[in-house]
Amino acid sequence: VSTDYDTSDRLYFEPLTKEDVLNIIEAESPEGIIVQFGGQTPLKLALPLQKYLEQVESKTKIWGTSPDSIDTAEDRERFEKILRDLDIRQAANGLARSFEDALAVAQKIGYPVVVRPSYVLGGRAMEIVYSDQELERYMTFAVQVEPEHPILIDQFLVNAIEVDVDAIADATGQVVIGGIMEHIEEAGIHSGDSACSIPYQTLAPAAVETIRQWTVALAKALNVIGLMNIQFAVQGETVYILEANPRASRTVPFVSKAIGTPLAKMASRVMSGKKLEELGFVEEQIPEHVSVKEAVLPFAKFPGTDTLLGPEMRSTGEAMGIDVDFGKAFAKAQLSAGQKLPLEGTVFVSMSDRHKEAVVPVVKDLIDLGLKVVATEGTRKVLCLHGLDVGLTLKLHEGRPNVLDGIKNGVIQLIITTPSGEEDRADGIKIRRSSLDYKIPLITTIAGAKATAAAIRALKSEVLEVKAIQNYY
């Protein structure tokens, strides 16, 4: 239960089903009901509830964005029509109801592709697929394909930055952006598992301008009243929309704390009929400080599970760090989430072929900061070609002493590794689990490695300070 007992006059412990909700409406006879604050489940109830309330001529209305607008955002075909009308760019995509359909769509789009059931919560059963064989396995074993619930197939945008936007719109059509959050992990990691920062750190000005324009245009086209969350992917100056949800996102509390404005309270008043102008919230607020949100992951409580992040959400909570620059804010967020970053010692690096070149500047930073680096043979070869002094460590199947020995003997203090495919899957799982068991920080993305290097630099340069939050507002 996410609602405090002393927040509301009455709190019902009932399942979110049509029948139970209608029983409560009948008992309370409210003037309005709000469906924007409960995630995906209440949105699915919006249309059935409205049909019933109209049928019985109830005085109770659904406040905020209309159920029809909610359905437009949820229905892929209706939503894509709006995107075409607004000339908003979307990654290539298609629907499939069989492996043959999926193969045709994937080959037309080109691998890698993101595959998922059409109605999912938390990215459940979502995967990134790199070949025909992986697609066949997914369609055969990973999901139950039913004609009424087709599989969605989208182009996977390689090396893209994911961006979350929370915005509020009122009944007059005024739209105000609450926050633009740049994800630290690249697109492909579920937004609930990804760290992110306000303000954005690396986005091109042209991309940010496009994001702002599309957010306002889409909120107006969907007749949003209240909150809306939109997810984008950015490659350089090119922006793609991933999805739009006419509801509060899990990022709203983070954005509210970062900018010092209670967005949920503001949205509730807007849904009750107030205008944003009356509430004094008329323009995007960009704070001078940096706020970083980090996911809190539950892997320590589930022995044997792989700690690798992907499209399916794993996190059970969030932590937040605030400071004057990104490195310090990220360091605070890591500490809050239970990750203690090393200021000295040895870093183990093992990258897949597609990430070997990208990790070079990160390793250079870490060596400049006084840390030693060891790597597996393939990764070390690339790093040495760039003039970096890197030691060699063996893979698990190459003999002893290997990386697991280094972890168990306390020789390694930080691990940076990206998965290399099926052949290294078993070794990768053992390394990731061992890092968890021995409480060694583990980084599995290039962006996360860059942020970690910035955090270590900040920690080594000066002592972190803690201030009362009102000092930032």
Under 8 Å CB-to-CB from 299, ≥6 apart: which residues? 305, 307, 314, 436
Residues 242 and 187 in one domain: yes
Same domain, 54 and 169: no
- Domain assignment present for residue 350? The answer is yes
C-alpha to C-alpha distance for 366 and 306, rounded to whole angstroms: 26
Judge contact between 331 and 197, C-beta under 8 A.
Answer: no
Q: How far apart are CA 244 and CA 232, in angstroms?
A: 9
- Going residue by residue through the chain (473 aa), what tens digit of pLDDT does each one get? 456 667 778 888 888 899 999 999 999 999 999 999 887 788 889 989 999 999 998 899 999 999 888 888 877 788 889 999 999 999 888 888 788 888 999 999 988 888 887 655 444 567 888 888 888 888 876 566 555 567 888 888 877 899 999 999 999 999 999 999 999 877 667 777 788 999 999 999 999 999 999 999 999 999 999 999 999 999 989 999 988 989 888 899 999 999 999 999 999 999 999 999 999 999 999 998 999 999 887 666 666 666 667 666 777 788 999 999 999 999 999 998 888 899 999 999 998 888 899 999 999 999 999 999 999 889 999 999 999 999 998 887 777 888 888 889 989 999 998 876 554 566 777 888 788 788 888 888 888 899 999 999 999 998 888 877 764 44
Same domain for 384 and 400? Answer: yes
Domain CATH code at residue 209: 3.30.470.20
The predicted structure's pLDDT at residue 194? 82
Nearest in space to 299 (alpha carbons), one of 407, 402, 424, 442: 442
115 in the same domain as 42: no
What letter represents residue 373's amino acid?
V
One domain, residues 283 and 169? yes
How confident is the model at residue 119, as a pLDDT? 52
* pTM, full prediction: 0.85
| Residue appearing with tokens 């609930």 | 192
- Find the domain containing 387 and state its range: 340-461
Considering 155, 182, 200, which residue would you say is the last residue of a domain?
A: 155
Spatial separation of the C-alpha atoms in residues 96 and 149, rounded to whole Å: 9
What span, in angstroms and rounded, lies between the C-alpha atoms of 181 and 445?
A: 18
If one counts the domains in the chain, the total is 4
Which of helix, strand or coil describes residue 96?
strand
What pLDDT score does 123 carry? 46
State phi, psi for 324 to the nearest 5 degrees: -80, -20
Backbone φ, ψ for residue 243 (5° rounding): -165, 160
Secondary structure (DSSP) of 209-265:
HHHHHHHHHHHHHTT--EEEEEEEEEETTEEEEEEEESS--TTHHHHHHHHT--HHH
Residue 140 shares a structural domain with residue 165: no
Tokens of 8: 């509301």
Q: Supply the pLDDT for residue 233.
A: 92
pLDDT at res. 153: 87
- Report if residue 292 sits inside a domain: no
| Residue 305: predicted pLDDT | 64
Q: Is 405 inside a domain boundary?
A: yes
> Could you tell me the CATH number of the domain that includes residue 424?
3.40.50.1380
> Are 166 and 151 part of one and the same domain?
no
- Residue 384: phi and psi, rounded to 5, are -65, -35
Q: Are 182 and 255 members of one domain? A: yes
Q: What is the CATH number of the domain that holds 139?
A: 3.30.1490.20
Helix (H) or strand (E) holding 43: helix 40-55
CB atoms near residue 136 (< 10 Å)? 14
Q: Tell me how far apart the alpha carbons of residues 462 and 138 are, in angstroms, rounded to a whole number.
A: 49
Question: In 10 A of CB 54, how many CB atoms?
Answer: 10
Shared-domain flag, residues 121 and 59 = no
State whether 369 and 282 are in the same domain.
no
Q: Is residue 138 a part of any domain in this protein? A: yes
Per-residue pLDDT reduced to its tens digit, 172-219: 999 999 999 999 877 667 777 788 999 999 999 999 999 999 999 999
81 in a structural domain = no
Q: Tell me, yes or no, whether 332 lies in a domain.
A: no
How big is the chain, counted in residues?
A: 473
33 in a structural domain: yes
Residue that terminates a domain, selected from 134, 155, 176: 155
Residue 144 shares a structural domain with residue 170: no
**381 phi and psi angles, rounded to 5 deg:** -60, -45
The pLDDT, as a whole number, for residue 311 is 65
My answer on whether 55 and 38 are in the same domain is yes
Domain annotation covers residue 1: no
